[in-house]
Amino acid sequence: MEDEKVTGYEPAIEIKMQRLFTTLSEKDRRRYAGIEAAKLGHGGTEYISTLFGIDPKTVRRGLVELDLNDDPASDRVRKKRCGAENGT
């Protein structure tokens, strides 16, 4: 059926997933989103991008990164921005 929606997670699980997502690095967020979308199959990318408030392209990039044997940026992790004080 083309109009069939993805059966997502229960609301309590979604909340736990969102909490976990906020604790991850940028790279790990992409990959986690990719894994969750892959588990859901068709329509999973849109569902997960909405759940986490990220662009579907980010989810797809996470999926691609998971297929790589080597991580080209294994030593790079962006620090979370704490706030913009004094223009920083």
pTM across the whole model:
0.75
Tens of pLDDT, residue by residue over 26-58, are: 999 999 999 999 999 999 999 999 999 999 999
**Domain containing 56: what range?**
26-67
Q: What is the per-residue pLDDT for 71? A: 63
- The residue whose two tokens read 């997933």 is 17
Q: Which helix (H) or strand (E) holds 29?
A: helix 26-40
Query: With 50 as the cut, is the pLDDT of residue 1 above it?
Result: no
Does some domain include residue 41? yes
> In this structure, what token pair is assigned to residue 69?
């044997």
Indicate the pLDDT class of residue 72, thresholds 50, 70 and 90.
low
For residue 85 the two structure tokens come to: 């004080």
- Does 59 map to a domain? yes
Q: Could you give the number of structural domains in the chain?
A: 1
Is residue 74 in a domain? Answer: no
Place of tokens 């991850």: 24
Domain contains 45: yes
Q: Is 63 part of a structural domain of the chain?
A: yes
Tell me, yes or no, whether 44 lies in a domain.
Answer: yes
Give the up-direction half-sphere exposure of residue 19: CA atoms within 13 A in the CB hemisphere.
6
